[in-house]
Homo-oligomer: A and B are copies of this chain.
Amino acid sequence: MAIKKQDVNPEDDLGFGTQAVRQRIINRDGSINVKRLGIPFFSTTNTYHRLITMKWSSFWLTVIAAYIIVNVFFATIYLSIGISNLHGTADNNVTDPFLNAFFFSAQTLSTVGYGHISPAGVVTNWVAAFESMIGLLAFALATGLLYGRFSRPSAKFVFSDNILIAPYPLTGGRGLMFRLANMRLNILLEVAIEVTFSFNEVVDGKTVRRFYTLPLERSKVSILTLSWTVVHPLTEDSPLYNITEEDMKSSNATFNVLIQAFDDTFSQTVHSRTSYQHNEVVWGAKFTPAFVHDENGLVQLHLGKISDYTKI
């Protein structure tokens, strides 16, 4: 086995412990592939987390469903008090009393309050006063969530599909490298990257998981304007100095990538993650330029070419 044990620093882990795992911990899209049992379902923060991170289609379905359910609830109340306490329904050209109550409820909840249907009697007036209050608060939550989703800062990087093992002239040997660029219009500043190499090792007959933070030729750039080729030089000090394709496969090798940056539009720190597994490593290849020149000779970055490489 070419992975040098003495280089494995127990301090450099990702909080995974030495639990031997068969699964990829970080998925390619940055999500975490470990299930946790016992998380309370109805906590405020978890509800917020779900509503902020769910798909747009699910979000809109949730909002519309909630709007209808609340109106059905209040319509039932108005109906049970008596439809005669809603004045003006005769002119509404709607014969179903429930629908009349439903539409009055919708006009109250949204505070549009045309008034062609209006509440009468003490109880109905109380319910309407309460519903309009609830409506304002509920819509505030919905619109807060809508804006929160819309304005939520998040980094989105395009990563090369593969990690390459290529000649790296600067250190006179080979280098392990991948490439990334910013997919957003935002300007990213103070971009810092951390690459952790993890693999299984048999210690005293028991398989344990080892983690090793790879030193990078450069781990931080002040501003990310073009693409960035992240390089771990395979020098003698590297635990991967003599590693072979077979070593990587047998030890279930994984490269976890954590990125932190400052987003200039949102003025907030953002993070992104990805991972590469041993079968996503290409041996003996180098990236081809992702730049094009426009008619004025100005450099342009083509995001679709980030993954392009040639075998050598």
Known contacts A92-B120, A147-B140; decide if A304 and B37 are in contact (CB<8 Å): yes
Report yes or no: A136 in contact with B118, Cβ–Cβ below 8 A: no
Chain B hits for A129, CB < 8 A: 71, 102-103, 106-107, 110
Chain A residues near B (Cβ < 8 Å): 10-11, 13-17, 19, 21-23, 25-26, 32-40, 43-50, 52-53, 56, 63-64, 67, 71, 85, 87-88, 91-94, 96, 99, 102-103, 106-108, 110-116, 118-122, 125-126, 128-129, 132-133, 135-137, 139-154, 156, 170, 181-187, 189-191, 194, 196, 217-218, 221-229, 258, 260, 262, 264-271, 273, 291-292, 294, 297-304
Report yes or no: B85 in contact with A112, Cβ–Cβ below 8 A: no
Task: With CB as the reference atom, state the residue of chain B lying closest to A306.
Answer: B38
Report yes or no: B34 in contact with A226, Cβ–Cβ below 8 A: yes
Chain B hits for A94, CB < 8 A: 120-122, 125
Q: Which among B52, B142, B218 is the interface contact of A137 at CB below 8 angstroms? A: B142
Chain B hits for A119, CB < 8 A: 92, 103, 114, 116
Report yes or no: B45 in contact with A156, Cβ–Cβ below 8 A: yes
Task: With CB as the reference atom, state the residue of chain B lying closest to A144.
Answer: B147
Report yes or no: B270 in contact with A267, Cβ–Cβ below 8 A: yes
Q: Which among B22, B87, B112, B301 is the interface contact of A298 at CB below 8 angstroms? A: B22
Report yes or no: A36 in contact with B181, Cβ–Cβ below 8 A: yes
Known contacts A262-B271, A299-B23; decide if A120 and B107 are in contact (CB<8 Å): no
Report yes or no: B39 in contact with A303, Cβ–Cβ below 8 A: yes
Q: Which among B16, B38, B93 is the interface contact of A120 at CB below 8 angstroms? A: B93
Chain B hits for A71, CB < 8 A: 129
Chain B hits for A64, CB < 8 A: 133
Report yes or no: B120 in contact with A91, Cβ–Cβ below 8 A: yes
Q: How far is the CA of A148 from the CA of B153 in the complex (A)?
A: 13
Chain B hits for A35, CB < 8 A: 294, 298, 300-301
Report yes or no: A273 in contact with B223, Cβ–Cβ below 8 A: yes
A–B pairs, 27, beta carbons within 8 Å: A13-B218, A14-B222, A14-B225, A15-B221, A17-B226, A26-B223, A26-B225, A35-B294, A37-B292, A37-B304, A38-B303, A38-B304, A43-B184, A46-B184, A46-B185, A48-B150, A52-B151, A67-B133, A94-B121, A107-B113, A110-B132, A112-B128, A114-B119, A136-B139, A140-B146, A147-B148, A267-B269
